[in-house]
Structures are given as C-alpha cells and as structure tokens.
Amino acid sequence: MAAVTEITLILFDLNGVLYRYDRDARIAYLASVSNRPSDAIKAAIWDSGFEDAGDAGALDAAGYLGGFGARIGYDLSEAEWVTAQQVAVTPIGATLALLPRLRHEVRCAVLTNNNLLVRRHFAALYPEVAPLVGDRAYVSAEFGAGKPDPEAYRRCLVRLGVEPRAALFVDDSPANVAGAREAGLFGHDYTGPQELTAELGRLGLLD
C-alpha cells in the first residue's frame, strides 16, 4: 500500500458509498407522475440500455432528458426528473462524516457512473457532499468512459491534476476497484463506514 505522504486525493464512488440508492423508489415516482406502469418504465429506461448510453456520454443533457420522456411516453420535465432522483437517494451519514476529518492536504472528489443531468444538478441531488467536494464532482458521461474502464479514472485524474499513484479510489463494486487499480490508483473495496474509517486511519489520512 502507498505511503501516507503519497496519497493526496481520495476519489469516492457516490451511490453505495456516500449515499444509498433505491431505484425502485425512483421508478415509483416516475410512474406516479407519468401514469405509466413501473415495469414499463424499467424496461424502457434500464433494460433497454438507455441509461447506460447516458452514463457513457452518448447523449447531452437535453438529449438525455428528451429521450427519457420519449421512451416512457410522457413529457417529463427537468424538475420531475430531479425529484425522481432525489427520492431515490439517502445519505450514508457515517461515511460522509469522514470527509471533513481528512488531513488538510488530502482532497476528496467524486466519480460516479452517471449522465450529464446529474452533473448539472449535483448540488441539488447530493447537498450533503456537494460543499465537501466543491467542483470536484464528476460523472462518467464527461469522460466518454465509465467505471471499471481504466480510462474513466485516468481522464478524471487528468482533470484533477493528480497522478494515479497519489490517488485512493473507494467503491462498493470490486470490479470498479479493480479497474481503478489497473489505471494505477490505489483502491479500497468499500463494505461499510467502519471498515473505511479503519483503512483511512491505518493510512494516516485522518486528522
């Protein structure tokens, strides 16, 4: 593992690490506003590969929102899309509480497999973490590559101006952590806030 002095950035996954994500709650909200069956919405957006295309950056924000509405047969507003996202996420307080405890020379950032609307509305969707990471919140659509593709991490770190050997990546997906390690980052398989606290403490990254 890297020496403490080598790590100057911790790159966090979003859903599953900093927030719990309930896709069923999101679909239920979309069904309520569109008057469409939940299973039809799931099939149109998630089973069709449309959401993956958004995450990959194949659609800009307007194209993604328009395509989303067209696929579910409802003229979905941007505000409704945002609300659907908001009802699906719940902060994991014990993990979020670690970010202000990082040593002052260690920055934190977010890399999530998500579309450009999430980037646009990040502060409204994730108000607990937004002030802690500032402008260092990134979605895969910005880079044309998603986790676990090593290019997603490399392109993100170029934007951040950080070498891979100086970054620790934290994700609840072992595949995503493996992709980060392939890109040259250090990785931590997140299983819960207690284990992460212990690992950050072991590395001397907490005040």
State pLDDT tens for residues 20-35. Answer: 999 999 999 999 999 9
CATH of the domain at 125: 3.40.50.1000
The number of beta carbons lying within 10 Å of the beta carbon of residue 1 is 11
pLDDT given for residue 3 in this prediction:
53
Do residues 41 and 111 both lie within one domain? no
Last residue of a domain, one of 49, 64, 89: 89
Structurally, how many domains does the chain consist of?
2
State pLDDT tens for residues 120-158. Answer: 999 999 999 999 999 999 999 999 999 999 999 999 999
Do residues 110 and 198 both lie within one domain? yes
Q: What's the rounded Cα separation, in Å, for the pair 99 and 108?
A: 7
With a cut of 60, say whether residue 98 has pLDDT above it: yes
Angle at 131 between CA 182 and CA 177, to 5 degrees: 15
Range of the domain at 126: 4-20+91-202
Do residues 77 and 30 both lie within one domain? yes
Structure tokens at 131: 């002030």
Instruction: Tell me if 150 is assigned to some domain.
Output: yes
Structure tokens at 102: 């990082």
| pTM score above 0.75 | yes
Instruction: Tell me if 175 is assigned to some domain.
Output: yes
State pLDDT tens for residues 148-185. Answer: 999 999 999 999 999 999 999 999 999 999 999 999 99
